Amino acid sequence: MTAETMEAPLVAAPTATPPHPLREFWGYFSANRGAVAGLFVIVGVVLVALLADVLAPHSPYLTDTKIALKPPFWQEGGSITYPLGTDAIGRDILSRLIYGSRLSLLIGVIVISISIVVGTVLGLVAGFARGVTEIFIMRLMDIVLTMPSLLLAIVVVAVLGPGLVNSMLAVALVILPHYVRLARAAVITETSKDYVTAARVSGAGNLRLMFKEVLPNCTAPLIVQASLGISTAILDAAALGFLGLGAQPPSPEWGTMLADAREFVLRAWWVVTFPGLAILITVLAFNLLGDGLRDALDPKLKR
Amino acid sequence: MLRFILTRVSLVIPTFIGITLLAFFLIRLVPGDPIETMAGERGIDAARHEQLKKDFGLDKPLIIQYGYYIERVLHGDLGKSIVTRESVLSEFQTLFPATVELAVCAILFALFLGIPAGILAAVRRNSIFDHGVMGISLTGYSMPIFWWGLILILVVSVQLGWTPVSGRIDVLYYIEPVTGFLLIDSFFSEDEGAFMSALGHLILPTIVLGTQPLATIARMTRSAMLEVLGEDYIRTAKAKGLSRFRVIGLHALRNALIPVVTVIGLQVGVLFTGAILTETIFSWPGIGKWLIEAIFRRDYPVLQGGLLLVGVIVMSVNLIVDLTYGLINPRIRHNR
Amino acid sequence: MALLEIENLSVEFPTQGGIMRAVDDVSLKLDVGEVLGVVGESGSGKSVTMLALMGLIPFPGRVKAKKLSFNGRDLLTMSDRERRKLTGKDVAMIFQEPTTSLNPCFTVGFQLTETLRLHEGMDRKAARRRAIELLEQVGIPSAESRLTAYPHQLSGGMNQRVMIAMAIACNPKLLIADEPTTALDVTIQAQILDLLMTLQKERNMALVMITHNMGVVAETAKRVMVMYAGQIMEERSAADLFASPQHPYTAALLAALPERSEGSRLATIPGVVPGLYDRPRGCLFSPRCAYATEHSRNVRPELRPWAGGHVRCHYPLGDPNRNANMNADHPLGTEAAS
Ligand SMILES: Nc1ncnc2c1ncn2[C@@H]1O[C@H](COP(=O)(O)OP(=O)(O)OP(=O)(O)O)[C@@H](O)[C@H]1O
Ligand SMILES: [Mg+2]
């Protein structure tokens, strides 16, 4: 903002051509170092999950009370056989974390898939049907949004019973409203545009419109919301696991591991630290990715 | 303005009905016999079963039952805990101040750190400070707070011994509940030790519960501020020759706070979610811990009543924030 | 001595696609009480030039200049604090969009007295009295009651009057009006222009009138500066410029006026102002110029003294050797080397 005297002749502006949209997207995305880091971490976690059988040094369920609460290898009494130590009943923490990544990713992907499919359908229906149907759906979503998410999830689990599958359903319900709103908003903006009117005039039915015209146009925000939603799903499912309402022991789900570890917080820091760190890093990676995608896809912020 | 208030108030009515329906059906959907669920008696004989069925009005059609339920709710009768046999409402009333105390401290913590951090980050956009604030707040936003609480206990309480591990106040002290807010009650008890103890017990839970709101508020303040700083009226303010401090602290902030207030309102739900976890970790005798225990004891009347009360409270706070939004935004205050 | 002197001013904005030069080598002198019209199509850098003068180029824009002085004081070496004492007091600016240029959260009275209290050191009472006076001067009826109004409660024309009142509050020596009437109804436009011209004469302010509208220029300005793609293309007295435009771009602007009727906006010249990606190597106007040659496409002309003003063209319309030069495609004078 401050003026300065001219020292050197100003360079002529470059004569370049505008880049291809996909390249442009990658340009914006890769300029965001956080997003790239997030992507790398996610790829890493996916690889770990896929190769869990190869990577894990031990079975995640194998107990051995003789080696209970062994510290990580760099601490006195630790050994490289159990790099991150063992838990209260002698299970290898690293192996459990590695297998746990499968569960967390699975939770994220399944929850998001349910939410996206159900949410988009509800949103499309609300957007196209309007009237009473729309009011009913949207009011219902308002209620879901009003209730504290974990309380609602707990209530669902109370009805369905604790467990991994039920906790996933609970979380899917809790994050549903975002997708409903998104899809409905997309329908409403798209249907007011000319080409949809044109398609209507040429006799395309609502169903065809939904899938051929509207859906492709809301994929970008859906992708962003999905990435951010996976992080919420992993976090909420872990919270349910921690409360003893999600995946049940001896499942190596990270939240459940923390629930088991709680009572050893004073004696064995490693049983508490590593599962939480795994959750934090994974969730952070998805949030970084989501932020990066949003910035790269949102034309408003381009400049 | 009156019309604005009336529309907003009328908008929450369906939400209220929805919450009552949710609470009403909860107890009927839980697996097992609803009568035994409600009475908390198991393996009862047929006569007692019939008696209870009459008592609860379960022999009537659903819609009538719902009508009875609403009537009872409006009279403040939320049923009895099957474990303690206490009225759900009175249990709620004794525990609620603890949760409010924690939540208020957490939101104040989030506001006092989050708003200045967000403003500075926006003003020094792309600086190291900005990247730092954004990085930390995204981490806070991604934080599994149940783990965060354990780590803080591990480091601050166990390793450093600075704060107590759990509870609201040391067992040495007995403070007569007047307001129910221990910080206030102990302050007026003229026992300095009690006050310091209450304060010490609050620190970690406040940080843990405040982490996510802090992250959200800092991010929101920053983006609202960035948007406002690009507005024409900021250029006008600068063109008047006003100092940077006045342009940012008065002209920009006043406008940027409008969306931030909405976000603060939305934090009530987040705070409650967090309170469930935080209270569990720190054995904080509040609503969150009460509800979790209710689940494990299959104390469904408590869960039902708690769900209803929490839902109504969150809804009301959202409504109040919505109305405040109208108050601080002159465009709404004068139109309509 | 001139009131305002700008020499070789450039403003650049770094963007994802490269460096956007919004103002390119602009020089300008303005005397006390003089009215200068600045015209050019959208995006030609009119606003950015004046914002640079006000010190209001937004981040991450960069301002460079050989000289930037106002009333004998060097704006380039002045501290920010000193400069703020000038802006809003001796140099004031009003903007195109009156409604968004006023802060929606504060009353008109607050925004108006703020300037007075800052620059004139008035107390609350005095500032209030003066504010009422100012609002009356700019023709706002029942001025006193308007003090407590918020901008959204007033019409666009009223808001622009408030903006003008704010700008003239401290008796500026130079007022910059950036398309002050574009966002307003036609009838209101005339009123606001009249108001500005009356105030200019009463106070003998220098006035820079930025506009798209040649009619407005003809009505108000003594001297006209025509900008294109960040550069000055022609700068001469209004009478001369309208009688015999020297730059093909000026001529095209004038020809685009239907019968040169006043009040109509610039009509179309084929093509668009070059953006970041299609900035020509030679004369910036050459892709749209009817008289472009190989030479003018490759070599950028300099702004040179011509016909009582300045023009940036290889073949000014009034040049007696014009045809010969164009045909021979001779490189011109000082630029032979470049
Ligand atoms: N903050 C900015 N960042 C990047 N480019 C900018 C910025 N502000 C202005 N520009 C560019 O500078 C160029 C000149 O803009 P300017 O606003 O001065 O044009 P103008 O002549 O005032 O046009 P109009 O008649 O539309 O007001 C435009 O191409 C614009 O895109
Ligand atoms: Mg402009």
Angle at B92 between CA B89 and CA B95, to 5 degrees: 155
* CB distance B252 to B234 below 8 Å: yes
Q: Which atom of ligand 1 is nearest to the CA of C227?
A: 21
pLDDT of residue A5 exceeding 50, the answer is no
Average pLDDT score over residue span B233-255? 94
pLDDT score for A244:
92
B-chain residues near A151 (CB < 8 A) = 272-273, 276, 291, 307, 310
Chain C residue with Cα closest to A17: C277
Amino acid identity for residue C269 in this structure: I
Quote the CA–CA distance of A196 and A73 in Å, as a whole number: 63
Q: Does A230 touch chain B if contact means CB atoms closer than 8 Å? A: no
The size of chain B, in residues, is 336
Average pLDDT score over residue span B167-173? 82
The answer, yes or no, to whether the previous bond of C245 is cis (omega within 30 of 0) is no
HSE toward the beta carbon, residue B69, CA cutoff 13 A: 24
pLDDT score for C329:
66
Q: Does B318 touch chain A if contact means CB atoms closer than 8 Å? A: yes
Write the ipTM.
Answer: 0.90
> Confidence class of residue A1 from pLDDT cuts 50, 70 and 90?
very low
Q: Does B262 touch chain A if contact means CB atoms closer than 8 Å? A: no
Q: Does B312 touch chain A if contact means CB atoms closer than 8 Å? A: no
Quote the CA–CA distance of B205 and B279 in Å, as a whole number: 8
CA distance A220 to chain C (A): 21
Q: Would the CB of C172 count as within 6 Å of ligand 1?
A: no
* CB distance B136 to B150 below 8 Å: no
pLDDT of residue A193 exceeding 90, the answer is no
* CB distance B241 to B251 below 8 Å: no
CB contact under 8 A, A13 and C18: yes
CB contact under 8 A, C97 and B232: yes
pLDDT score for A204:
66
pLDDT score for C278:
78
Q: For residue B273, which of B110, B144, B136, B181 has the smallest C-alpha distance?
A: B144
Chain C residue with Cα closest to A1: C57
Percentage of chain A with pLDDT > 70? 88
Best mutation site among C96, C105, C120 for testing chain B: the one with the most B CBs within 10 Å?
C105
pLDDT score for C149:
93
> Confidence class of residue B111 from pLDDT cuts 50, 70 and 90?
very high
Quote the CA–CA distance of A251 and A167 in Å, as a whole number: 14
Q: For residue B98, which of B218, B201, B192, B180 has the smallest C-alpha distance?
A: B180
C-chain residues near B245 (CB < 8 A) = none
* CB distance B26 to A154 below 8 Å: no
Q: For every residue of chain B, which 3-state class applies, written as one string?
A: CHHHHHHHHHHHHHHHHHHHHHHHHHHHHCCCCHHHHHHCCCCCCHHHHHHHHHHHCCCCCHHHHHHHHHHHHHCCCCCECCCCCCEHHHHHHHHHHHHHHHHHHHHHHHHHHHHHHHHHHHHCCCCHHHHHHHHHHHHHHCCCHHHHHHHHHHHHHHHCCCCCCCCCCCCCCCCCCCCCCHHHHHHHCCCHHHHHHHHHHHHHHHHHHHHHHHHHHHHHHHHHHHHHHCCHHHHHHHHCCCCHHHHHHHHHHHHHHHHHHHHHHHHHHHHHHHHHHHHHHHCCCCHHHHHHHHHHCCCHHHHHHHHHHHHHHHHHHHHHHHHHHHHHCHHHHHCC
B-chain residues near A289 (CB < 8 A) = none
Q: How far is the CA of C179 from the centre of ligand 2 (A)?
A: 7
Average pLDDT score over residue span A258-276? 90
HSE toward the beta carbon, residue B175, CA cutoff 13 A: 26
Average pLDDT, chain A: 85
Average pLDDT score over residue span A16-20? 63
**A to B CB pairs, distance under 8 Å:** 132
Angle at A214 between CA A208 and CA A217, to 5 degrees: 140
pLDDT of residue A94 exceeding 50, the answer is yes
Q: How far is the CA of B125 from the centre of ligand 1 (A)?
A: 21
Q: Does B148 touch chain A if contact means CB atoms closer than 8 Å? A: yes
CB contact under 8 A, B236 and C87: no
* CB distance A289 to C3 below 8 Å: no
Quote the CA–CA distance of B230 and A256 in Å, as a whole number: 47
Average pLDDT score over residue span A230-236? 94
pLDDT of residue B136 exceeding 60, the answer is yes
Chain B neighbors (3+ CB pairs < 8 Å): A, C
Could you tell me which residue, B192 or C239, shows the higher pLDDT? C239
Please report which helix (H) or strand (E) contains residue C13, including its range: strand C4-15
Q: Would the CB of C45 count as within 6 Å of ligand 1?
A: yes
pLDDT by residue for chain C (338 residues), tens digit each? 689 999 999 999 998 778 889 999 999 999 999 999 999 888 899 999 999 999 999 888 999 999 999 999 999 999 989 999 999 999 999 998 899 999 999 999 999 999 999 999 999 999 999 999 999 989 899 999 999 999 999 999 899 999 999 999 999 999 999 989 888 888 888 888 999 999 999 999 999 999 888 888 888 899 999 999 999 999 999 999 999 999 999 998 888 766 554 444 444 677 777 877 778 888 999 888 888 888 888 889 999 998 889 999 999 998 888 888 888 765 433 333 33
Q: Which of B14-28, B235-249, C194-208, C232-246 has the lowest mean pLDDT?
A: B14-28
Ligand nearest the Cα atom of residue C22: 1
pLDDT, one tens digit per residue, over B298-335 is 888 899 999 999 999 999 998 988 888 888 887 777 65
Q: Would the CB of C228 count as within 6 Å of ligand 1?
A: no
pLDDT score for C330:
52
pLDDT, one tens digit per residue, over B252-305 is 999 999 888 888 888 888 999 999 999 999 999 999 999 999 988 888 889 999
CB contact under 8 A, C12 and A2: no
Q: Does A242 touch chain B if contact means CB atoms closer than 8 Å? A: yes
Residue owning the nearest CA to atom 27 of ligand 1: C42
Tell me the best of C9, C10, C13, C182 to mutate to test the pocket of ligand 1, counting ligand atoms within 8 Å of each CB and taking the most: C13
Residue owning the nearest CA to atom 3 of ligand 1: C13
pLDDT score for C268:
60
C-chain residues near B254 (CB < 8 A) = 103, 105-106
Residue owning the nearest CA to atom 17 of ligand 1: C47
pLDDT score for B212:
95
Chain A neighbors (3+ CB pairs < 8 Å): B, C
CB contact under 8 A, A10 and C10: yes
Best mutation site among A107, A141, A144, A155 for testing chain B: the one with the most B CBs within 10 Å?
A155
pLDDT score for A17:
62
pLDDT of residue A21 exceeding 80, the answer is no
Could you tell me which residue, C255 or B139, shows the higher pLDDT? B139
pLDDT score for C266:
45
3 state DSSP class of C68: strand
Indicate the burial class of C264 (C-beta count within 10 angstroms; 0-12, 13-18, 19 or more). middle
CB contact under 8 A, A15 and C278: yes
pLDDT score for A3:
40
CB contact under 8 A, B230 and C152: no
Average pLDDT, chain B: 89
Q: Would the CB of C58 count as within 6 Å of ligand 1?
A: yes
Q: For residue B325, which of B3, B100, B4 has the smallest C-alpha distance?
A: B4
Query: What are all long-range contacts of C332-335, with beta carbons under 8 Å and residues at least 24 apart?
Result: C332/C301, C333/C304, C334/C302, C334/C304, C335/C299, C335/C300, C335/C301, C335/C302
Could you tell me which residue, A4 or A109, shows the higher pLDDT? A109
pLDDT of residue A10 exceeding 70, the answer is no
Quote the CA–CA distance of A97 and A251 in Å, as a whole number: 11
CB contact under 8 A, B148 and A284: no
CA distance C115 to chain B (A): 6
Q: Which of A28-42, B2-16, B226-240 has the lowest mean pLDDT?
A: B2-16
A-chain residues near B310 (CB < 8 A) = 147-148, 151
CB contact under 8 A, C277 and A15: yes
> Confidence class of residue A14 from pLDDT cuts 50, 70 and 90?
very low
Chain A residue with Cα closest to B132: A34
Residue owning the nearest CA to atom 16 of ligand 1: C45
CB contact under 8 A, A283 and B146: no
C92 DSSP β-pair partners? C175
pLDDT, one tens digit per residue, over A241-254 is 999 999 998 999 99
